[in-house]
Chains A and B, each alone.
Chain A
């Protein structure tokens, strides 16, 4: 039987500027998570830095970026998962979509697919892995500044038909 899903788990709209947003006590009953960020910052550009369960180890990624005239590809290991070119000028929010696959499974590392869409800067695609088998119960997103009005929505995608 079809099981309605794509459920909004948590939603944050910043009333004032902030440097981080945290989703904690995430419901572990879904298969995948989708995090949708529509954010602006006061000036310039930056990256979103994403961590799970307050861990700062074992994040790996590959990314490809096009800015309209040039391309960039590389692999990185940092104390966080970064989505480059994801902060942007105030006038045009950037939309980032982060898909966290099998986030509650304890028999596999966590695979993450990310897309950044920043009309002022670049388009980005990322595959990433958090080298940890712990179920993800907390997601933190950081940047130098998120403007008031920036939105962060976390959705759950079921994998078990009920």
Chain B
């Protein structure tokens, strides 16, 4: 059995064989952008899973937090589920969508201090496997003018191997300093 160092299995897998968990690419914005795309993921098919780690903020003058949209291969067929809390109530919902929503993981510029970012960690499981749909799970949130913590799952309803992924702001453009890093996790 492989010991894969992501998510809750970190304790057992971390520090295992060299190259079990590799940084593949990082994009750190130096100016505002509405989206970030990682393409050419077909070259990473020797990995079993991908992980996206993000620290993000948008340029909206509004307070609170903003969401991201995750899409694969430019496709529009997804399903998702959400369990989240805002400090006074829980919400649980889901459905089908044209993207996988990753709610409330970006700080917003109207929230006060210029330094407030949100963050998330998303695992993209079996992204190159053509016998099953690709699924995701995310832990993310932020503490800003309003605060949110959430657990999010998603499915790309296609057995097509994922060769590109895009993270797009659901609101205003993301600002400089926003950072997305992509990691590969080896399988058996």
- List residues of A whose CB falls within 8 A of some B CB: 2-8, 31-32, 34, 36, 38, 60-64, 71, 73-75, 95, 97, 99, 101-102, 105, 107-109, 111-113, 115, 117, 125-129, 131, 133, 151, 153, 155, 157-161
Contacts and interface: CB of A to CB of B under 8 A. Distances in A.
A8 B15 contact: yes
B125 interface: no
A89 to B, nearest CB: 19
The DSSP consensus for interface residues of chain B is strand
B163 to A, nearest CB: 17
A113 B11 contact: no
A71 B14 contact: no
The DSSP consensus for interface residues of chain A is strand
A64 B149 contact: yes
Nearest to A35: B10
> Which of A102, A128, A129, A151 has the most chain B CB atoms inside 10 A of its CB?
A129
Nearest to A101: B119
> Which of A6, A34, A99, A105 has the most chain B CB atoms inside 10 A of its CB?
A6
A4 B118 CA distance: 26
Interface of B: 5, 7-8, 10-11, 13-15, 18-26, 28, 53, 55, 57, 83-90, 113, 115-121, 139-144, 147-151, 177, 179, 181, 183-184
Given A8-B15, A36-B11, A31 B53 contact: yes
A153 B14 contact: yes
B11 A2 contact: no
Nearest to A100: B119
A5 B183 contact: yes
Given A64-B85, A109-B113, A127 B141 contact: yes
A3 B55 CA distance: 20
Contacts of B177: 105, 107-108
Nearest to B180: A159
A128 B121 CA distance: 14
Contacts of B19: 2, 4
Nearest to B26: A159
